[in-house]
Copies of this chain bind each other. A is one copy, B any other.
Amino acid sequence: MIVVMEPDATEQQLEAAVKKVGELGLRANVIIGTERTVIAVVGEEREHAKEVLEVCDAVSAVMPILAPYKMASREVRPEPTCISRGSFAAGGSNIGVIAGPCSVESEEQIVASARAVKAAGATALRGGAFKPRTSPYSFQGLKETGLQMLAAARDETGLAVVTEVVSTEDVELVARYSDVLQVGARNMQNYRLLEAVGGVDRPVLLKRGPSATMDEFLLAAEYILNEGNQQVMLCERGIRTFESHTRFTLPLASVPYLHRKTHLPVIIDPSHGTGHTYMVPSMAAAAVAAGADGLIIEVHPDPQNAASDGYQSLDFGGFRATMDQCRRVAAAMDRTLGCSPS
């Protein structure tokens, strides 16, 4: 941690800041510069130390050197984490593919979707039973009935089931019916929920909040890891920017950044990340070329009649074409996308 003093800091103010460093159990190195004096602080840094030093008199800024997360860091665990659960694998040479409708609407719809996405090469089925919706007047999901339909689709196809959990009290229920728990973007900083999914034996797909910095995203993952669950996948699904021609801005540079900073696999969501069906195929291919460890894509048997997110869903033909293109790009990157199509 580097403590930068104000240019007009007095000797006493400098001493007070140095004393405070000592009280925090850290060691201070004072460096007198041409225009400013800085204190290089050595020792095991804690978030709290930064906050305390920032409010000392005549301290201009405190710059942390170390990342605030630990268990998620590649410095702690250099080799990449691969996630595997049933039919699904992400990380290493495998690019996992999670596909299916935004919402589970009926058993017929979800089973048909599961069959179609599996035939096109997907390795997991997505589908929302508990739906967090911006408006209280929108469709909120079929809840436990929806979970039972997902389980039926798994029985039918063997695909692992990925579904969202929105509340601590539902974690056990959702885990009973599914293989991977999704924590949605709106709940990325719902710490009680993160702690709850950190306590169950299921991989977690953690979506980035639309205004979360990378440190906030990795600290959210840290909440889960810290409870003992090491099976965390980071999902980039777009950030909120001034752009209005897309629903969110999908920053694919998150892939190389996260690969450098963390051992956790990175999944890209080109559906929410763009908000327009016509953009999904090219952004899915781009995600694979950027090095993503997985894709999560909205697919619906009849997007025009979907209960939600039809405007960003592929139909079965569109998904198959997208998979065919992505498979060729994956091969060009020496990786394997999903499973073989049938």
Within 8 A of B (CB), among A12-69: 20, 29, 31-36, 38, 40, 42-44, 46-48, 51-52, 54-57, 63, 65-66, 68-69
A90 at interface by CB-CB < 8 Å: no
The answer to whether A138 and B169 touch across the interface, beta carbons within 8 angstroms, is no
Within 8 A of B (CB), among A279-336: 279, 282-283, 285-291, 303-311, 313, 325, 328-329, 331-333
Q: Which residues of B contact A304 (CB under 8 A)?
A: 20, 52, 55-57
Q: Which residues of B contact A253 (CB under 8 A)?
A: 246, 249-250, 273-274, 279, 282-283
The answer to whether B240 and A211 touch across the interface, beta carbons within 8 angstroms, is yes
Q: Which residues of B contact A20 (CB under 8 A)?
A: 304
A107 to chain B, nearest CB (A): 22
A272 to chain B, nearest CB (A): 12
A87 at interface by CB-CB < 8 Å: no
Which residue of chain B lies nearest to A225 when distances are taken between CB atoms in the complex?
B136
Of A111-119, A120-128, A149-157, A189-197, the one touching chain B: A189-197
**29 CB < 8 A contacts A-B:** A2-B2, A2-B38, A7-B75, A29-B29, A31-B40, A33-B40, A33-B65, A35-B66, A38-B65, A40-B40, A46-B137, A52-B305, A132-B191, A134-B215, A209-B211, A211-B211, A239-B242, A240-B242, A242-B242, A244-B244, A245-B257, A246-B251, A246-B253, A249-B253, A252-B282, A253-B279, A286-B290, A328-B333, A332-B332
Which residues of A does B touch, CB under 8 Å?
2, 4, 7, 20, 29, 31-36, 38, 40, 42-44, 46-48, 51-52, 54-57, 63, 65-66, 68-69, 75, 132-139, 166-169, 186-187, 189-192, 209-211, 213-216, 219, 222-223, 226, 239-246, 249-253, 255-257, 260, 273-274, 277-279, 282-283, 285-291, 303-311, 313, 325, 328-329, 331-333
